[in-house]
Amino acid sequence: MRLTPVDTRMLNGAEGEGAAFAMRLLTSFAKALGAPSLLDITRAHIDGCLYHGVASLDFVERLVSGGARVRVPTTLNVGAIDLIHPELMRMPAAEQTPARRLMLAHQELGCEPSFTCAPYQTRFRPAFGEQVAWGESNAIVFANSVIGARTNRYGDFIDLCCAVTGRAPAWGLHLDEPRRGRVLFRLTGSPEPTESLFVAVGLFVGERTGERVPVIDGLPPPRSEDQLKALGAAAASSGSVGLFHAVGITPEAPTLRDAFGGAAPEETIEIRPSDVRDVLRRLSTAPDGEPITAVCLGTPHFSRDEWERFLPLLRAAAPRRGIPIYVNTGRATLRALESAGALDGLDAFGLRIVTDTCTYLTPILERLDGVVVTNSGKWAHYAPGNLGVRVAFGDLEDCLASAVAGRIERVVAW
Amino acid sequence: MTRDAQPYADGGAEAPALVLSVPLSLWGGIDVETGRIIDRSHPDAGACVAGRVLVMPTGRGSSSSSAVLAEALRLGTGPVAIVLGAADPILTVGALVAETLYGVRCPIVVCAIDGIATGDRMRVSAANGRASIVHSSTV
């Protein structure tokens, strides 16, 4: 592999022990990929502050003690603790200690304490064409697909090595050719742009496209980029999608021809209305009408736009059964809402705002013995395995109607 | 029988082989406390990677496998070496992290893996840009 003189200096310790360690890992990783060289990145997003075990914390501590600092603006993904609402945590204090330390140690490396899985909703959002190194599957697919920034699917240790060195392997989705579409998914039946449609399409594409870049044709114009966020998060949950193109919607796919770079699709797969209904039906593990114990929204973190849509619906529905409505959101989004006074008087409706973490990852829910209603395909995909709850998926309106009724209600047609 | 190999993480080890016919994702695939394969969909579920030379076509799945390998090597429940048919960046990173943090070496080398069977005696060495494996049948 070709290294620049700057890379070599860092590898040899001229920038300190921590940076040398990061560069050694990065070059070994790049060599195993078969990358010919490294390239400069402008930003990073680190998925390493959710505590998984001793080795993950020891790794970050080694960088801290080796004097490492991130070389590019670097945001942090969710941790295991809501640092702003610690009273919500139902985790023993002894388990909280290393989880908190991991979040703090990342800040000592110069990372921004964003603690959100939606860094694209912050002022650190990259622009079209920027080379970045991002972790967190939904953030990766959003950056590549919706923004047109360029990142591979980085994870464990390597995202932080990229941030500390300011470099990434010149390989994969950083380059032009691997970004072009391979498989065509064609929607039939002119569906309405409901939340559930975008989730269903994401899950369907993720299950079938494998490692190949999917192109989706026939998607109705989304009401907001949050619907594309939901699609990408779902596709990265059911599969390993790091980039999708939606013809006429996403920036690298103004036309079908652009999406495929002039080449023909390797395969064409139809998504029929019956496929959408099948995927959605499989996502719920509880039948309609069952009593519910909670509503979970905001996976990925609720954006300002989603709050603007949700708050009037919540005030109009005015649920009073005491069923908690958990909404995960970024701390910066919360601050903006609070300073606008947008959240006043909502406690009576069961609203519980969660920042810095996510309700499917860490012990926050008061009850795990019942059915949880969510409008998130990602939450519905992972929570039954992670938490042991049963789940019902629906649009936002379904979630609120269920909170009012105390059982699974549906008002939006599939 | 000796084969030349490509080194991805340095070290030396001698142990019986555990040969997996299909790739295993360590994340969700092994119990890090014991090294046992817990992925029920895997044909070798129930086998244990601890103390073995793990031989498989390539790695698979989540990038979280890096941290799982590092944690298993810290706990002494990991393989003593990994022989792959194709390079795997995620496992390479896990081995290098464990070496740096804990001084535990798990050489990772890439070579043809045909003809190696579970239980074969294996010797793996990787250093200075060179690697080789020696294996002999136990029967």
User: Please, which residues bridge with residue B31 across strands?
Assistant: B36
Mean pLDDT calculated for residue range B29-34? 93
Q: How far is B50 from chain A (nearest CA, A)?
A: 17
| Terminal CA-CA length for chain A | 52
Whether B62 and A155 lie within 8 Å, measured CB to CB: yes
Whether A157 and B101 lie within 8 Å, measured CB to CB: no
Which residues in A lie closer than 8 A to residue B100 (C-beta atoms)?
21, 24, 62
Q: Is B62 a catalytic residue?
A: yes
User: Please, which residues bridge with residue B54 across strands?
Assistant: B18, B82
Phi then psi for A145, rounded to 5 degrees? -90, -50
Closest C-alpha to A155, from A171, A139, A134: A134
Chains A–B, number of C-beta pairs less than 8 Å apart? 77
- A357 CB neighbour count, 10 Å cutoff: 29
Higher model confidence: residue B93 or residue B41? B93
Q: Is the peptide bond before A86 cis (omega within 30 degrees of 0)?
A: no
Would you call A132 helix, strand, or coil by DSSP?
strand
Tens-of-pLDDT digits for all 414 residues of chain A? 999 999 999 999 999 999 999 999 999 999 989 999 999 999 999 999 999 889 999 999 999 999 999 999 999 999 999 999 999 999 999 999 999 999 999 999 999 999 999 999 999 999 999 999 999 999 999 999 999 999 999 988 999 999 999 999 999 999 999 999 999 999 999 999 999 999 999 999 999 998 899 999 999 999 999 999 999 999 999 888 999 999 999 999 999 999 999 999 999 999 999 999 999 999 999 999 999 999 999 999 999 999 999 999 999 999 999 999 999 999 999 999 999 999 998 989 999 999 999 999 999 999 999 999 999 999 999 899 889 999 999 999 999 999 999 999 999 987
In the structure, how many helices (H) and strands (E) does chain B have? 2, 9
CA torsion through residues B77, A362, A201, A144, sign: negative
Chain A: residues touching B (Cβ < 8 Å): 21, 24-25, 28-34, 52-56, 58-59, 62, 135, 153-158
Residue B139 clears pLDDT 60, i.e. is over it: no
CA atoms within 13 A on the CB side of B135: 25
Amino acid A300: pLDDT: 97
pTM over cut 0.80: yes
Mean pLDDT calculated for residue range B36-62? 91
* Stretch (H or E) spanning A316: helix A304-317
Would you call A332 helix, strand, or coil by DSSP?
helix
Please name the residue that has the structure tokens 């549906």.
Answer: A410
Higher model confidence: residue A213 or residue B88? A213
Whether B87 and A33 lie within 8 Å, measured CB to CB: yes
Contact A375, A395 (CB under 8 A): yes
Helices (H), A143-213: 158-165, 195-209
In the structure, how many helices (H) and strands (E) does chain A have? 14, 14
CA angle at residue A168 from A164 to A170, to 5 degrees?
Answer: 165
Amino acid A217: pLDDT: 98
Amino acid B138: pLDDT: 62
Which residues in A lie closer than 8 A to residue B92 (C-beta atoms)?
28-29, 32
Can you say how many angstroms the Cα of residue A130 is from the centroid of all Cα atoms in its chain? 19
Q: How far is A194 from chain B (nearest CA, A)?
A: 30
Helices (H), A12-156: 17-33, 54-65, 93-108, 137-142
Burial class (CB in 10 A: 0-12, 13-18, 19+), A286: buried
Contacts of B115 (CB under 8 A, 6+ apart): B1
Nearest to B8 among A32, A54, A58 (CB): A32
